[in-house]
Structure 1
Amino acid sequence: MGAADCRGAVLAFVAWGFWRASQPPAPYFQGQMEARESDIAPKVTARIARVAVKEGQHIQPGDLLIEMDSPEVQAKLAQAQAAKDAAQAVSDKAQRGARPQEVQMARLSWQRAQAAADLAKTSYHRVESLFQQGLVSAQKRDEARTNWRASDAQAAAAQAQYDMAASGARTEDKAAAAAQARQVDGVIAEVEAARAETQLRSPVGGEVASVLAKAGELSPQGVAVVTVVDLQDQWVVLNVREDQLQRFAVGSKFTGRLPALDRTAEFNVYHLGVLPDFATWRTTRGSQGFDARTFEVRARPAAPIEGARPGMSVVVE
């Protein structure tokens, strides 16, 4: 090859280099793996007695996480139980009615009042006969008649007392007493539920990602103490500018590389969502171009990726 040919080859290589440098770089996206996490918090305020799990431990739904000690819950349960006993006693009394001795006393009182009324009636008839004969005054007759009527009214009242004792409480009173007992049962059930919450159990299965509780600490209501991550429910998150979004349509597939595992995997896009305005790509020249929004792309692995962990990078070229 002559000198001219060499110079031509060098010029061609330099020109090719300038052409390559002027070409836009190939699209390159970097995301990271995410997984479903559950922050588990107690429903009652109590002091932590024992932590039953450690970070990295695999658990099943229903496994014990934290044991808590709450004297307040125990005190409320004792109060509710005492209220239940009192309400049940009132209900039993209403259902059973008066005691046999009380019914017997009411019956004897009625009989005594009826005997007095019968005697007053007989006395009145005698005085009435004497009045007709002119042997007693009208005043005496009126007094005898008034005494008879008063005694008869007392006998009627005594009979009503006896009937009430014999028939027991009214239906409305029985229903009210029974309802009061059921209401207290509800209070006990509520306190029992609070006591059950002192044994904090996991509603989900997975791996314990973090344990924020320590024995002896006071755990406030609603503050997470354990985080559980489900490694079977993972996805990758990419931030993609809208002018490059066509290859990430919902339902499409792409291949990503996980540098931490030195392997590739196929992903299925299932979600697109626009990010807030502060994440928008903005043009540098106000007279040209437009503001390009940024979208969040979520995609699940087509098959489980063994060894994948939340936070691992995924590179898509």
Structure 2
Amino acid sequence: MLLLVGAALLAFVIWGFWRAAQPPVPYFQGQMEARETDVAGKVPARIAQVHVKEGQQIEAGALLVELDSPEVRAKLAQAEAARDAAQAQADKAARGARPEEVQMARLAWQRAQAAADLAETSWKRVQSLYAQGLVSAQKRDEAQTNARAATAQAQAARAQYDLAASGARTEDRSAADAQTRRAAGAIAEVQAAQAETQLRSPVSGEVAKVLARVGELSPQGVAVVTVVDLQDQWLVLNVREDDLPRFAMGQRFTGRLPALAGRTAEFEVFYQAVLPDFATWRATRGSQGFDARTFEVHARPVAPIEGARPGMSVVVEGAV
């Protein structure tokens, strides 16, 4: 009996030494991450209303926060006034002179033409009398000059009438149309800024953080709400390069989530990247060799993990 007990004790001691001599079981610990979207305003404004709470499930396009910006409203009013003025100028250029102005120009031309005809008739009469020696050369020259001046005035009046009848020049109409388009562009720019006073979620997910408070000033580009997409989660592991073959691209492995009562899930590696030098673990040899670098490995669950949330630990044990 004592012999059997001694043999059993010896076998247990031998097994303990053998177990102690075995290399430790590989053990890796990482944590779950998820896609987060920070929603921030493009214009500085004061927070008027907050429509969501932390933990709330929302769809893409949901209204998160309303901002109040008197400056944007004032710029919109200015842009609309500039548009109206430009449109009035374009309408004026397109329509040309008023009918009354055209009528006045036509009558002025007719009056000038009548005066020119009379001056031409007088010149012909004086020329005939001069040929008969009844008037002096001075009188003939004055009549000729008056006829020429009256003809020039009639031509100028006709040009004024043609100008009024044809309306604005093509260049003037083009310039007026360009001013109208410029004003419309300014309005579109201000309307785009006004639309940014209503912050909407670009993605579906869960509201993770609400940093906005009614009455506070929201600076430009500072996030006021963070939305996390729980459908887009992955595991992050820091792996020394001599263990990296266990987590090759496309490799699948099993991890355990202690926060979910030890539930296991299968993951697939889709990303590897070396960490900076300060993350080096240790030298492989004391006298020569190289330093073992650390790599960041991302692995996505093969199937959705119900209840998994960012920050939960994932333990990977044993050989992959």
> TM-score, normalising length from structure 2?
0.95
The whole-number CA distance in structure 1 between the counterparts of 2:18 and 2:289 is 24
1:300 paired to 2:297? no
**Residue 197 of structure 1, CA deviation:** 1.0
**Hey, what does 1:159 align to over in structure 2?**
158
**Amino acid in structure 2 at the alignment position of 1:124:** W
**Hey, what does 2:40 align to over in structure 1?**
41
1:92 paired to 2:114? no
**Amino acid in structure 2 at the alignment position of 1:200:** L
Asked if 2 retains the 8 angstrom alpha-carbon contact of 1:127 and 1:144, the reply is: yes
The answer to which of 17-26 and 124-133 deviates more is: 17-26
**Hey, what does 2:121 align to over in structure 1?**
122
**Hey, what does 1:58 align to over in structure 2?**
57
**Hey, what does 1:21 align to over in structure 2?**
20
1:154-206, Cα deviation, whole Å (9 max, x unpaired): 10010000011011111221122112111111111111111111111111110
1:314 paired to 2:297? no
The residue matched to 1:136 in structure 2 has which SS?
coil
Asked if 1 retains the 8 angstrom alpha-carbon contact of 2:284 and 2:290, the reply is: no
Structure 1 residues 244-255: aligned runs within 5 Å? 244-255=243-254
**Residue 268 of structure 1, CA deviation:** 1.1
CA RMSD of aligned residues (A): 1.4
**Hey, what does 2:108 align to over in structure 1?**
109
The answer to which of 22-31 and 47-56 deviates more is: 22-31
The whole-number CA distance in structure 2 between the counterparts of 1:10 and 1:287 is 43
The residue matched to 1:260 in structure 2 has which SS?
helix
**Residue 280 of structure 1, CA deviation:** 1.5
**Hey, what does 2:290 align to over in structure 1?**
290
The whole-number CA distance in structure 2 between the counterparts of 1:71 and 1:119 is 70
**Hey, what does 1:281 align to over in structure 2?**
281
Asked if 1 retains the 8 angstrom alpha-carbon contact of 2:256 and 2:316, the reply is: yes
**Residue 17 of structure 1, CA deviation:** 2.1
The answer to which of 247-256 and 19-28 deviates more is: 19-28
The whole-number CA distance in structure 2 between the counterparts of 1:47 and 1:13 is 74
The whole-number CA distance in structure 2 between the counterparts of 1:286 and 1:164 is 98
The residue matched to 1:54 in structure 2 has which SS?
coil
The whole-number CA distance in structure 1 between the counterparts of 2:99 and 2:121 is 33
The answer to which of 171-180 and 76-85 deviates more is: 171-180
Asked if 1 retains the 8 angstrom alpha-carbon contact of 2:256 and 2:264, the reply is: yes
The whole-number CA distance in structure 2 between the counterparts of 1:213 and 1:115 is 82
**Hey, what does 1:200 align to over in structure 2?**
199
The residue matched to 1:61 in structure 2 has which SS?
coil
1:241 paired to 2:261? no
The residue matched to 2:291 in structure 1 has which SS?
coil
**Residue 286 of structure 1, CA deviation:** 3.5
Asked if 2 retains the 8 angstrom alpha-carbon contact of 1:282 and 1:290, the reply is: no
**Residue 10 of structure 1, CA deviation:** 3.3
Structure 1 residues 290 and 9: CA distance shift in structure 2, 3 A: farther
The answer to which of 21-30 and 252-261 deviates more is: 21-30
The residue matched to 1:194 in structure 2 has which SS?
helix
Consecutive unaligned residues in structure 2, runs of 5 or more? none
The whole-number CA distance in structure 1 between the counterparts of 2:121 and 2:276 is 104
The residue matched to 1:127 in structure 2 has which SS?
helix
**Residue 284 of structure 1, CA deviation:** 7.3
**Amino acid in structure 1 at the alignment position of 2:50:** V
**Hey, what does 1:266 align to over in structure 2?**
266
**Amino acid in structure 2 at the alignment position of 1:196:** A
**Residue 9 of structure 1, CA deviation:** 4.1
Asked if 1 retains the 8 angstrom alpha-carbon contact of 2:58 and 2:204, the reply is: yes
**Hey, what does 2:218 align to over in structure 1?**
219
The answer to which of 304-313 and 195-204 deviates more is: 195-204
1:78-107, Cα deviation, whole Å (9 max, x unpaired): 101111110000000111111000000000
**Hey, what does 1:187 align to over in structure 2?**
186
The residue matched to 1:62 in structure 2 has which SS?
coil
Equivalent residue pairs, number: 316
1:43-75, Cα deviation, whole Å (9 max, x unpaired): 111000111100000011111101111111111
**Residue 21 of structure 1, CA deviation:** 2.1
Identity over aligned residues, as a percent?
A: 77
**Residue 285 of structure 1, CA deviation:** 5.2
**Amino acid in structure 1 at the alignment position of 2:287:** S
> TM-score, normalising length from structure 1?
0.96
